Amino acid sequence: MFYVEQSEKIFDILVMGGGHAGLEAAWISHQFDLKVGIVSLPGVGLGSAPCNPAVGGVGKGQVVRELDALGGLMGKLADRSGIQYRILNESKGYAVQSTRVQIDKELYSKVAEEEIEKSSIEVIRDKVDRVFKDSNDLFNLVGERSVYRTKKLVVTTGTFLGGKLHTGPEVVDGGRVGQSPSESLENLFSGIETLKARFKTGTPPRILRHSIDFSKMEEQPSDDRAENFHWENSDQARKSKQVSCYLTRTNEDALSIIRENREKSPIFNGQIKGIGPRYCPSIEDKAFRYLDRNTHHVFVEPEGLDIDTFYPNGISTSLPKDVQLEFLQKIPGLEQAEIAVYGYAVEYDVVNTLRLYQTMEHREVTGLYFAGQVCGTSGYEEAGGQGYIAGVNAALAVLQRNPLILDRRVSYIGVMIEDLVTNERDEPYRLFTARSENRLFIREDNSIERMASYRKQLGLNKPIDHYNDQFLQLSKDLEEICHKTQFLPTKENISLFGQLDLGSLKEKTSLSEVLQRSIVDPVKALKEVLICKGIYFPANVLKTVAISIKYSGYIAREAQDNESLNKLEAKKINWESLLENSNLSFECKQRISKIKPSTFGQLRRIEGIRPATLTFVASGL
């Protein structure tokens, strides 16, 4: 038998996995001056980006800004390594606009290592083969070098648990290309329930820079108007050199090759059993799902400033290597493409999130938390959001303080967490703005206003806490100025309105009323009016106030329409008593028993709950 030495050190919190979820979990928990460590596989960089090296996007940019306002790390790392910035959904208005940053993946990991090294977080490079609780109620992580003990454990193992990589007929064990997997979840933990089905995700081939003809593609330069994520950085001051991404498209020739090789695809020939993401399909899925469509976007994006490979976003594949090269070379600009790393799919174990509380703690194993892709989600941002919630609640539990739960009505992280613990996953979860019932309010621009009260609950005294307080005060001051500033229909003011395209001025009108006009861009208008009056406010404060005033009427109407529902949403229910009620169907009782909802809002979001059941429960609240 192989014996390893037991570490004398007892951690308050150990985080298993050093990806985006693990970083956030460790980063927030160490702010409480606890003894925190990250256990990461040797050779795997902290905060690595094995898929597309980008942070943010629709719904995801909001999560990054929420994390930043809560004292998280992702926004800071993204800004330090960002090489292209874009504003998504710009044509749809401020409510659903999101920031997306292409990152240098090597630089991102490097600055993550630097930030962790400067902190009190200890990094342990070891492979964990087994986890158990001892007689002192401590988790023991049995590694190859030692046994590590901790009061609370946060598991953020990504795709490494029982990971298998598929490229055509080739199948190898691994969490990602070139890196070995961890034990399967059932071997690692005793009594932890996984989903019956494993999940699958994929990645496209990486293409060598010199083999790409960018002249045949549409250039997408970095947008200097996009705002940085991190609160310490001025709005548009970039930390790294900015470069372009490029857009090309598939065609009939490329799709024909894929369709002719259907039987060679692990997805269709039965080799892969895992369930893939419906919203982010592989190119094989696209080829057979949309038989009448041959044109699909391919975003050719750099993996770094000094990295010689590009990521063709949109053509994830697990086809054999020769087929990958053949169809790739039919795409405009990629006719001479050389592949550095072939695309592959990875299957991995997923924990059953119905067994988690909203704190991300396991219901059956006290002190055990899960976060990230192991919870059946996709995306670095979703992982980071879960990691923060798991880490902060592990820390609060060590300190015997009340947990932190983000309300889904004010936070996309809150939306995601409640979705995860309320419904069983039948496919990888991705956060969309459409998942929120309150999209007009949950915006990027007002993240600090939405998150500051939650951050204040933590009772910490860090620079971010002072910044949030100052931001809130400035926002309050500017909002008051907007409400109190009145324009009389004088000749001077009428002329001003004409110059600034603010519309007509026929009666006394407040600045707030002007900003609410449909023809007015509220941010531009408020900025120009303040300049005329010689008043200065930081750009991010100005933007938050302007957009908040613009949408205030819509938000008020939405709140009024949903007032009754919102009151019921938060109402506590006793799920155990519902199981004894003869008015509920057997099917509804089964679903309630499985999910154990604590509020009416959670009950109504359970898939398959009948309207009659909701009516019955609501009548008793």
Model confidence at 597: pLDDT above 70: yes
Does the CA dihedral 406-408-413-418 come out positive or negative? Answer: positive
Give 1's pLDDT tier (boundaries 50, 70, 90). Answer: very low
How many other CB atoms are there within 10 angstroms of residue 127's CB atom? 17
Segment 58-74, tens digit of pLDDT: 999 999 999 999 999 99
Give 436's pLDDT tier (boundaries 50, 70, 90). Answer: confident
Mean pLDDT over the full length of the chain: 91
Return the closest-CA partner of residue 499 out of 522, 537, 532: 532
Model confidence at 554: pLDDT above 90: no
The more confident residue out of 191 and 34 is: 34
Give 2's pLDDT tier (boundaries 50, 70, 90). Answer: very low
The pLDDT value recorded for residue 563 is 67
* DSSP secondary structure, 155-217, as one string: E--TT-BT-EEEETTEEEE-SBTTB--B--HHHHSSSPPBPSSPEEEEEPPEEEGGG--GGGS
Segment 94-122, tens digit of pLDDT: 888 999 999 999 999 999 999 999 999 99
Domains of the chain (ranges plus CATH)? 9-202+348-435 (3.50.50.60), 203-347 (2.40.30.260), 464-561 (1.10.10.1800), 565-619 (1.10.150.570)
- Give kind and range of the element (H or E) at residue 142: strand 139-143
Percent of residues, the chain, with pLDDT higher than 90: 71
The pLDDT value recorded for residue 421 is 93
Model confidence at 246: pLDDT above 80: yes
The two three-digit tokens of residue 102, written as one number: 């292409």
Rounded distance, CA 417 to CA 426, Å?
A: 16
Give 422's pLDDT tier (boundaries 50, 70, 90). Answer: confident
Segment 200-232, tens digit of pLDDT: 888 999 999 999 999 999 999 999 999 999 999
pTM: 0.90
Give 606's pLDDT tier (boundaries 50, 70, 90). Answer: confident
